[in-house]
Structure 1
Amino acid sequence: MPADPSSPHPPSIKDVARRANASTTTVSRVLSQPDAVRPDLRQRVQQAIAELGYRPNLAARRLRQQRASLIGLIVSDIRNPFFTDISRAVEDMAYRHGLRLILCNSDEDPAKEQSYLELMADEQASGVILSPTPELTRRFRADQHPFPVVLVDRAPDDTPTDLVLLDNAHAARRLTEHLLDQGCRRIALLAGSRSSTGRERQAGYEAALRERGLAPQVLPLRPTADEGQAAAAPLLATDPAERPDALLATNGLLLLGAWKAIRAAGLTMPTDIALAGFDNNDWTTLPEPAVTVLAQPTADIGRSAAELLLQRMAEPARPPRRIVLEGTLMVRGSSARQV
């Protein structure tokens, strides 16, 4: 029976241990590292916790451990489904390991980002997963922070640190080559200009065009749907003999903006113009035709980042690791007449 909330003596960890016929150390481990306890014993302890209505004293645990049982996640734009999916994967891993998670949204603002990094220090976070702003990417050093940091999506130049990212140049090259194989020759790139990710994808696009002797057409943009639509609209209003025969977008929000511009111009995909881009967001399967995308392994990115952080927390002196993942090309009707 759950404990009486009005009782002056709430259940203690010793009460849980007695009820579960386990040691207090085992109870503590179930609370902090449940995967480290064998399933039958873990279930017994969790049942005792539920029956007694026990709640751990987190403040006391913090004082004992001299650090909070939490990690931080700072993303560039939580409205971007790419970061939403990564956040979900990180949260799942944190929950499985008995860690609390603080989620912060920097809005690509270095001052806001710095404020959140200071918050993590004040909260004695065990570690932070970070999608850095371009400013921080250029000057990032892991030893500048009082906690381990794992970077996602964006990589600093020549700085050894734990990070997880997509092979951006190769992925963009695959998308560009797909469009070229469909007969497209005037491919305009809507390129996110505020991160290393956008620059790497632009490099892959340009390499594919150079191999075919074709000239690139790059529009550097802030990575939002409004920016993508505004930039694509005048391109589509030009003479059919001069306008692009394909639009390629370096992220899901720019891709959405390009799709809106094509629809507003009354053009047909892929007959009048082909469309392809990054991120397999839910909306990309809804139009007719559906939109060709390079699907990023967002769940793997988030899970791998959390695993790297847990390893770094356990082994602070180990060498940095760089995990580079491949995406999946999903060819659909927006770029291919037959799929």
Structure 2
Amino acid sequence: MPTIYDVARAAGVSAATVSRVLNGQRTVDPDMVARVLTAVRELGYRPNAVARNLRRSRTTLWAVIISDIGNPFFTSMVRGIEDVAQQAGYSVVLCNSDEDPDKEETYVAAALSEQMAGVIISSSGSVKAARSLLDSPVPVVAVDRELPRGEVDTVVVDNEAGARTATEHLLAAGYRRIACITGPEGVSTADHRLAGYTAALPAEPLVIRTDFREQGGYDAMAALLSAAERPDAVFVANNLMTVGALRCLADRGVDVPGEMGLVGFDEIPWADLVRPSLTTVAQPTYELGRMAARLLVDRIATPAAKPATVVLPAELRPRQSSTRP
């Protein structure tokens, strides 16, 4: 079995340098980091996790707590996290809170009791879970959604600007009674996207809050269609609810975009394959994850630094569902 000294010889560096690289320290020259990681892969070296954890009083694992593993939005984001984690010598444990605050609290408690090296969380809105993280010494980064009532390193998309652009796009296309289907109150993505929609709308807002799930989008769309004055367009604040809204419109025989314009937040892999193709507000999902992981590496290295907030832009991708004949 290869040792740290074998890796050092193969990379042409000292054993101390190998140790710094594997511990995720950023003071090592990038060329040396590349040589060490190459030697680790070629030799099949595996650090002694037990000994290293005893030295650190912490594991080399990150807990990544996401709000819905069934949502394809998170696939690329988690890939970005994992790529950076692997380069820094960490492994990722994926936890699915399933938009359930109780499950989120359970996973947070487990991450803290297992002395995880860090936590990246897309919060379902649990104030209790947020407080537990803020009161602990474990480094934390919030991704996609802000952590309730807490100041931590955060990576989000400019949700308000993206929603405002989507609503303005529908207005420019000639739609006038535009509704919004958004998520639960207190979840930052739902609240900011609602704020962007409201800011762009010259008329009275028409809003339905639901649960960020496909069935929630279906039920919300059905309620809008049953209204005395139904809308002529709808902005839907996430991808799964957009799928549900589209399914409802198809079931009711409502023509899109003739009778109902539609814009969804989050890109969907098949958005340009369906007919009509689907207008979306796309997020840089991989970059969200990659940036969150980089912030966590920095936070582990410098625990006392001031928390940083990174806001990434969203991009409107106009297609047929919002283009009135």
The question of 1:120 aligning with 2:111 is answered: yes
Q: Which residue of 2 aligns with 1:328?
A: 315
- Give the number of the structure whose alpha-carbon radius of gyration is greater: 1
Percent identity between the aligned chains?
Answer: 42
Residues 269 and 323 from structure 1, CA distance in 2 versus in 1: closer, same or farther, beyond 3 angstroms? same
> Which residue is 2:189 aligned to?
197
Is 2:228 the partner of 1:236? no
Change (3 A) 1:48 1:261: closer
Q: Residues of 2 paired with 1:88 and 1:101: CA distance?
A: 10
Correspondence for 2:288 among 278, 301, 323: 301
Q: CA deviation at 1:207?
A: 2.0
Partner of 1:146: 137
Query: Partner amino acid for 1:93?
Result: V
Displaced runs of 4+ in structure 1, greater than 6 A? none
Does the 8 A contact of 2:164 with 2:197 survive in 1?
A: yes
Counterpart selection for 2:88 from 92, 97, 118? 97
Query: C-alpha distance in 1, partners of 2:148/2:9?
Result: 55
Show the counterpart of 2:267: 280
Distance apart, 1:24 and its partner CA: 2.1
Please state how far the C-alpha of 1:130 moved relative to its aligned partner: 0.8
Q: Is the 8 A contact 1:17 1:27 kept in 2?
A: yes
**Deviation per CA, 1:258-297, whole angstroms, max 9, x where unpaired?**
1111222222221121110100120222211211111112
Aligned to 1:26: 17
Cα deviation, 1:38-76, whole Å, max 9, x if unaligned, reads 54785477447635x543221122112322122221111
Q: Give the AA of the match of 1:202.
A: L
Counterpart contact for 1:165–1:325, Cα < 8 Å: yes
The structural deviation recorded for 1:222 is: 0.9
Structure 2 distance, partners of 1:148, 1:300, is: 20
- CA gap of 1:336–1:87, structure 2 versus 1, over 3 A, is same
Cα 1:161–1:23, aligned 2, differ >3 Å: closer, same or farther?
A: closer
Greater Cα offset, 325-334 or 301-310? 301-310
Q: Separation in 1 of the partners of 2:227 and 2:207?
A: 16
Q: For 1:61-108, what per-residue CA distance to the aligned partner results, in whole angstroms no more than 9, with x for missing partners? A: 211232212222111111112222211111111011111111111112
Counterpart in the other structure of 1:292 = 279
Structure 1 residues 57 and 138, CA gap change in structure 2 (3 angstroms): closer
What are structure 2's unaligned runs of at least 5 residues? none
Q: Give the distance between the partners of 2:298 and 2:30, measured in 1 at CA.
A: 21
Calculate the TM-score normalised by the size of structure 1.
0.86
1:337, 1:139 → 2: CA distance? Answer: 44
Query: 1:146 and 1:40, CA in 2 relative to 1: closer, same or farther beyond 3 A?
Result: closer
Q: How many residue pairs are counted as aligned between the two chains?
A: 323
Counterpart in the other structure of 1:223 = 212
Q: Distance in 2 between matches of 1:40 and 1:308?
A: 22
The answer to whether the Cα contact below 8 Å between 1:77 and 1:108 also exists between their aligned partners in 2 is yes
Q: 1:48 to 1:191 in 2, by over 3 A?
A: closer
Aligned residue type for 1:230: D
- Structure 2 counterpart SS, 1:150: strand
- Go from structure 1 to structure 2 and tell me whether the alpha carbon gap of 1:21 and 1:166 turns closer, same or farther (over 3 Å shift): closer
Match of 2:4 among 13, 22, 25: 13
Deviates more, 1:163-172 or 1:92-101: 163-172
The residue number in structure 1 matching 2:258 is 271
- Letter in structure 1 aligned against 2:207: V
Secondary structure of the equivalent of 1:270? coil
Distance (whole Å) between structure 1 residues aligned to residue 76 and residue 33 of structure 2: 33
Aligned equivalents of 1:171, 1:19: Cα separation in 2: 49
Q: Does residue 1:57 correspond to 2:44, yes or no?
A: no
Q: How far did residue 335 of structure 1 move?
A: 0.2
For residues 174 and 290 of structure 1, what CA distance do their matches in structure 2 show? 19
